[in-house]
């Protein structure tokens, strides 16, 4: 596995544990996280504020179904499942595009779609 894919895998595993310190260790200082239509966070502090959402409880279950790499870009597809505070469950499919620099995440664009059960 390449260094870039390993970094993305480490990031995904840390996100599934909601391990802020380990997530942030996977990022460059000037990281950007874009979720089209939702938010654009710039810098580690802004990224850190977006890791958790008050509408959810517990840790998400993240399953990566495919990861491909070309040069400094890693694309990961998969699913996320998380319990909601209101008693429901969020089910998402995602496609995350990671632009890497020196085996750290420089920019993340997350394309998310909720899937109704």
CATH architecture of 3-114: Roll (3.10)
Domain ranges of the chain: 3-114
Q: Say if CB 56 and CB 114 are below 8 A apart.
A: no
pLDDT digits (tens, 9 = 90+) for 12-57: 999 999 999 999 999 999 999 999 999 999 999 999 999 998 889 9
**Segments of 53-88 assigned E as strands:** 56-70, 73-84
pLDDT digits (tens, 9 = 90+) for 46-104: 999 999 988 899 999 999 999 999 999 999 999 999 999 999 999 999 999 999 999 99
Q: Are strands 73-84 and 39-42 parallel, antiparallel or unpaired?
A: unpaired
User: The whole model's pTM is what?
Assistant: 0.95
| Torsion over CA: 75, 15, 84, 43 (sign) | negative
Looking at residue 35, its pLDDT comes to 97
């Amino acid at each position: 596995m390449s260094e870039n894919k390993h970094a993305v895998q480490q990031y995904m595993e840390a996100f599934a544990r909601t391990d802020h310190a380990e997530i942030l260790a996977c990022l460059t200082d000037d990281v950007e996280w874009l979720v089209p239509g939702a938010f654009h966070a710039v810098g580690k502090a802004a990224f850190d504020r977006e890791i958790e959402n008050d509408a959810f409880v517990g840790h998400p279950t993240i399953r990566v179904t495919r990861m491909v790499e070309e040069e400094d870009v890693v694309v990961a597809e998969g699913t996320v499942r998380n319990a909601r505070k209101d008693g429901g469950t969020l089910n998402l499919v995602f496609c995350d595009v990671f632009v890497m620099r020196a085996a750290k995440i420089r920019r993340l664009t997350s394309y998310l779609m909720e899937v109704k059960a």
